[in-house]
Structure 1
């Protein structure tokens, strides 16, 4: 993931200004900063949901812009390789059952029903969702919804996982479980990009921190640089 002089504004209000940032395969980067500092917008850019208005963002050497995302095959590959778990799990849950929700991604990838079923089984087992497979996602607790959202992404086996404030609204038990899950992803060589205000989470999983602010930002690792200028 490589940002070069990346700029983005909502209604002429700058959110990200002149971002230079590289995240290597297998890195665990934690984005920190005040509300409104652009953390969520940066994650959305990584997933091809917003685009540079100046500068560029490249994934695996390919520029991700509006033109590229109009290519259905490119958009599918990007979303298969970069998974994004929203801060509000309700925003990405829309199927009538947990099982169908988790199966949606693999089916969109064109996998066989047998392979889709295997991935659903694996994700449900790892997330502790077996007893909830037939339940409607909107009837679940906040922590259960978060697990379903993660299972949906995990069933697609992406190279990179992006999480926006993943601990928000979770009880202590689910928070501990999620921290352990992040460590498992790290051990498996997955790339993690996590936006959080939780310093304890950051200290546990970060290879380096990306500090973002209205006027400036910096990274505490020598091989990564970010510069945000209003």
Structure 2
């Protein structure tokens, strides 16, 4: 009898631990919802806004980035357009447009899911500014969901740069996001970035938290 009681108690403890883990007692990460936006080279800034033009800061973002006051219009292959798309600074070595899957449908385009910066073979798109326009043969992506972390946060979470994890949103929609990339850099503030489609489907807003469930 005593042996059976020990087995029963052990099972109850293990079940309680498993249930606790399932409820999200892991590493908590705040959410940042990312709307469609554009990164530009300095050459393209000047094509779109005029010779010698410099982006002007509207709001600071993590890692030295900022939302600029400048906006552009993006146009897909079927001449469908989305206006007032925010330009992020500072300028980059390659121009890139990040949209949601819904945006891609509106533009009439097949846009691949990629990590930021991985634009080889991605979708073509045109960008129109107040002083000119550019056409990109590649450069439009749907951003892969990812978590920005400092090295200290990565160590605490038990992950490293390039890892792929799953996270759980413990709200009324009870969503689990798979294929979440870990990005680690000294300049990063802890935050998971999802686009507006993902946020709306899971009923998540900027500032909500999710839990890593590796």
What's the TM-score, normalizing by structure 1? 0.27
Higher helix share: 1
Higher Rg: 2
What's the TM-score, normalizing by structure 2? 0.28
Q: Which of the pair has the greater relative contact order for Cα pairs under 8 Å at 6+ separation?
A: 1
Higher strand share: 2
